[in-house]
Amino acid sequence: MSSQTDTLYPPEGLGAPKNRRGHTGAALNLPAGTEIFSADNHISLGTDIFYEKFPERLKNKAPRIWYEDGAFEIGVGGKSFLPPEFSRVLMQYDPLIGSNSGNIAGRMEELRSDGIERELAFPNALLALFHYPDPEVRELCFRIYNEHIASLQEASNGRFYGVGLINWWDPKGARRTLAELKGLGIRTFLMPLSPGKDSEGNPIDYASTAMDAVWAEVEESGIPVSHHIGETGLKSPCEFNAICVGMVNNVTGFHEVWGRYVFSGILDRHPGLQVGWFEGGASWVASVLQDAEHILASYRHMLNRPVEHDVRHYWDNHMYASFMVDPLGMELLKYIGVDKVMWAADYPHNESTFGYSEKSIAMISEAVGPENAAKIVSGNVKRFLGL
């Protein structure tokens, strides 16, 4: 496997994705008929969908969508909910033809120009609503968004799959929103790494008995859970290159939630759950498994509830991870599992493979062979989504 950086990362001089173009033509060494399926793309909300669908009594609380200085913003009264640094990142790629939900046909063409036939797309700026203080407004926004991306799915003829949003803070709301997701044909939903507070202002513990009713609804629905990096960010001010420092810290947000699934009994009590970890790469999985095995062996005598299985059981039977470019992860696949990782382009983000996806895919084929590579770039994400 080559370790030359010019085969793994954005070619020097191309800069941000708005300056990139799709590229195909290189032999990928995949079995005939393999559809390249990006397990983690992103889509900006490019249509002002909330205001017209809010009831009159809530219209003054309806978030608005507008385009300003090269980025799609979300906010109320002309004031964006997004931190300025987040907007600056959006400005790098929102000008792409297919970056927003207002041009699904253009998006499909842009992806096809880079050899990508199908995709799973996560929201961008909409995550600013994760902790909107009014839970009624928050849920209503999620339900309207779900309807919107379901319409994009239908228009894409099976090429676009959107990641939905649910009510995770209330069992009845969870049942309601999960039922709507299934009815809309949405295949997975995004759960925040930081669940916020309950109606009484207490921090929500995903692993608490109070959350069991929500997890029971998720389990019964059969819809897999998705977690995505991007919420951790910086824990203190950073004068220089804060965007890079924050990005390095992003994947650490997975560790705590992963630990709750495994050690705090979420998966023991709800063995039907399937969980995807997106954009954190694959290599972190090997280290967290190793650490967890050592921790369990060292502290088993101090547990206040039993851990019913060995650590690997939870990963092997319940979890998947996505990556874009991860040569170290490829070397660790014998430990992680070739059936448990999913390739992603991360279009249209700055760190996406858009413009050199074929090089990233060729690296996978070289590392694991054509048949296993087909699982990683297509089959595994289809299995996760139940396609």
CATH number of the CATH domain containing 175: 3.20.20.140
Asked if the model's pLDDT at residue 20 lies above 60, the reply is yes
Q: Which of 172-176, 264-268, 354-358 has the lowest mean pLDDT?
A: 354-358
Q: Which of 62-66, 107-111, 230-234, 298-302 has the lowest mean pLDDT?
A: 230-234
Count CB atoms within 10 A of the CB of residue 125.
Answer: 23
Question: Do the domain assignments include residue 34?
Answer: no
What the block records as the tokens of 280 is 């954190």
Question: Do the domain assignments include residue 21?
Answer: no
Count how many domains the chain has. Answer: 1
> 141-183: per-residue pLDDT in tens?
999 999 999 999 999 999 999 999 999 999 999 999 999 999 9
Who wins on pLDDT, 250 or 31?
31
> 73-99: per-residue pLDDT in tens?
999 999 999 888 788 888 888 788 899
Who wins on pLDDT, 212 or 14?
212
The answer to whether the CB of 142 falls within 8 A of the CB of 165 is yes
Residue 90, pLDDT score: 82
* Model confidence band, residue 18 (pLDDT cutoffs 50, 70, 90): low
The answer to whether the CB of 323 falls within 8 A of the CB of 341 is yes
What the block records as the tokens of 297 is 């062996």
Residue 34, pLDDT score: 96
Question: Do the domain assignments include residue 359?
Answer: yes
* Model confidence band, residue 3 (pLDDT cutoffs 50, 70, 90): very low
**Looking at residues 306-315, what average pLDDT do you find?**
97
Question: Do the domain assignments include residue 6?
Answer: no
Question: Do the domain assignments include residue 165?
Answer: yes
> 272-297: per-residue pLDDT in tens?
999 999 999 999 999 999 999 999 99
Q: 252-263 and 311-318 helices cross at what angle (nearest 10)?
A: 110
Q: Three-state SS for 275?
A: strand
**Looking at residues 22-49, what average pLDDT do you find?**
91
Helices (H), the chain: 84-93, 104-112, 135-155, 171-184, 212-221, 242-250, 252-263, 266-269, 283-299, 311-318, 327-331, 333-336, 357-368, 370-374, 380-385
Sheet with 319-323, strands from edge to edge, namely 164-165, 189-190, 225-228, 275-278, 319-323, 341-343
How far apart are alpha carbons 128 and 61 in whole angstroms? 14
Residue 91 CB-half CA count within 13 A: 10
What the block records as the tokens of 299 is 């502290």
pTM over 0.75: yes
Residue 271, pLDDT score: 98
Whether the upstream peptide bond of residue 348 has omega within 30° of 0, thus cis, is: yes
Residue 86, pLDDT score: 81
CB neighbour list of residue 357: distance below 8 Å, 6 or more residues apart: 23, 36, 114, 115, 116, 345
Buried b (16+ CB within 10 A) or exposed e, 244-282: eebbeebbebbbebbebbbbbbbbbbbeebbbbbbbbbb
Per cent of the chain over pLDDT 70 is 95
Asked if the model's pLDDT at residue 250 lies above 80, the reply is no
Residue 197, pLDDT score: 92
Question: Do the domain assignments include residue 56?
Answer: yes
Q: Three-state SS for 207?
A: coil
Residue 6, pLDDT score: 40
Question: Do the domain assignments include residue 10?
Answer: no
> 117-126: per-residue pLDDT in tens?
999 999 998 9
Question: Do the domain assignments include residue 119?
Answer: yes
Average pLDDT of every residue of the chain:
91
Q: Give the CA distances from residue 317 to residues 77, 272, 339, in Å, rounded to whole numbers and listed in that order.
A: 47, 9, 11
Domain with 246, as residue range(s), is 40-385
What the block records as the tokens of 153 is 């799915």
